[in-house]
Structures are given as structure tokens and as C-alpha cells.
Amino acid sequence: MSGGAIEARRLPAWDVSFGNWPYPRLIAHRGAGLLAPENTLAALRVGASFGYRMFEIDVKLSADGKPVLLHDATLERTTDAQGPVGELSLAQIAQLDAGSWHSAAFAGEPVPLFSNVCAWLRANDLMANVEIKPVPGREAETGAAVALAAAHAWLGRAVPPLLSSFSEDALAAALRAVPRLPRALLLHRVPDDWLERLERLECVALDVNHEALTADTVARAHGEGYRVLAYTVNDPARVALLQEWGVDAVITDSVDVVPPQ
């Protein structure tokens, strides 16, 4: 890196356009859905054991600016600590137990560093949907930091990670930091100006709560040159219906029920 940025000449010529979509049709949510503690290396290993090749993970920053895997802005749901994630340094986060809340079998499982997860995925020829999940007030900082870390981790690889976020500020910062990384806009519902948002953020895909998705929206997105992802779909019949509509990737917890295709 130079000056906090990846030099453009060192980046692969990543092209994730409509006609060059390299990702599988099924993506494991937070590693292995509900079968292991979410956003841990243990969860990724469990998801991979069912044949999944791509994993949705949530990444935010520690107090000292290090990307780690955690979903919530606070610690109590998925660790043995309490309080805001953004107030702990990486060294403090590394001491947390991120497995006991799930089950005794995963007691002591640590909160993983994003760089370690990237290394494991690369070593096993697996792919990532990296959700940029900033703590409140650090949207742009997190978007840029995660994009730079992802680009550095995937240097030399043909298929880049797909970045996504509900935070448009985070996606805009990721765009500024590493324009070549593909981005998807996450939405709870489909607003009237969704196409304008995708264009402004130079996204390649729309990533929508499956309950808010319609076949017409999928068709319109495709007609405008965008791919469509749907989250979080745990009923195999619903997965099949979405795929009939042409949804390009479905994110699921049901890694033990829905074949990865």
C-alpha cells in the first residue's frame, strides 16, 4: 500500500459486470447460518462442510481502526462482553469469547480479524460477500478501511469480494477508496429511487430483503444491467421461487437444508 491506498496498477482488472457475474447462486449467511456462532471461522468451516463456496460476513472497525467480524454495534448478543464494539481496541476484542452464547461446543471461539478470514477464504478458494457494517458515526471511515483491506487481501485473485452495505455513506467511501471492487446496495425495502441510488454509488447489484422483492423488480433491475441478491431466505420453496424469478444470488441460513448448487 502507498499513502493508505492500493495502487491502481497493482489491482487485478476486476470486471463484475452484468455479463461477467462470477458468484454462485447460494451464499451462506454469516458463515453457517444458525449452525455455528455467526461471523466466526468456525461458522465458515461449518458452511464450507456443506459445500458452500461463498459467505456473507459482517465487518466493522475496532476502536483502533482494525476490521473485525461482528454484526451488532454492541457486544452482548454474540460475545461474553457488553457495551459498544467501537470502544474496544483490537487487543481487547481478541480476548472475547464469541462462541459460548451459541453452544458449549464453540466455547472460546474468538472474534476473527478480517484479514485472517480473508486468508482462510483465499487458501480454500472460497468467495466473500463483505457487508460493511459500521458502528454509528464511522460510516465513511469503515467503508474506506474495509474496501482497502479487501482489495489488499484479494490481490492477484480473479474473483474479488462483493462489498455491500445499508450505509450509502460507507459504500460511497468504498467507491472512492477502491473503485474496482464491486458493490451492492442493501435495502430493507425497494424505494422509488432505487435505480438512482445504484447509479450514484456505481453498484453492480441490488441486495434486498426477500419479502420486499417482486418478480417485476428483478426483471427491471436486469433490464437496467444490475444483478439482484435476496436475503435472508430459509425456506427451500421460497429459494426456488426467487430463482424462478431470476434472482442471481440468495443468502440463506439454511446451509444444511438448501443445497449450494
Residues 221 and 246: their CA atoms lie apart, in Å, by: 10
Is 152 in the active site? Answer: no
Residues 96 and 202: their CA atoms lie apart, in Å, by: 37
Amino acid at 175: L
Question: C-alpha grid cell for residue 212?
Answer: 420486499
Kind and range of the H or E element at 77? none
Extended strands (E) in the chain: 26-29, 54-61, 67-69, 127-132, 162-165, 183-187, 205-209, 227-231, 249-252
Q: Which residue has the cell 435505480?
A: 195
Question: C-alpha grid cell for residue 134?
Answer: 459500521
Instruction: Compute the radius of gyration of the chain from its Cα atoms.
Output: 17
Q: Which of 71, 188, 210, 222 is catalytic?
A: 71
Q: What is the DSSP letter of 105?
A: G
Is 71 in the active site? Answer: yes
Give yes or no for a contact between 29 and 234, defined as CB atoms under 8 angstroms apart.
no
What size, in residues, is the chain? 261
Q: Which of 29, 102, 210, 222 is catalytic?
A: 29
Give yes or no for a contact between 83 and 75, defined as CB atoms under 8 angstroms apart.
yes
Q: Which residues are annotated as catalytic?
A: 29, 71
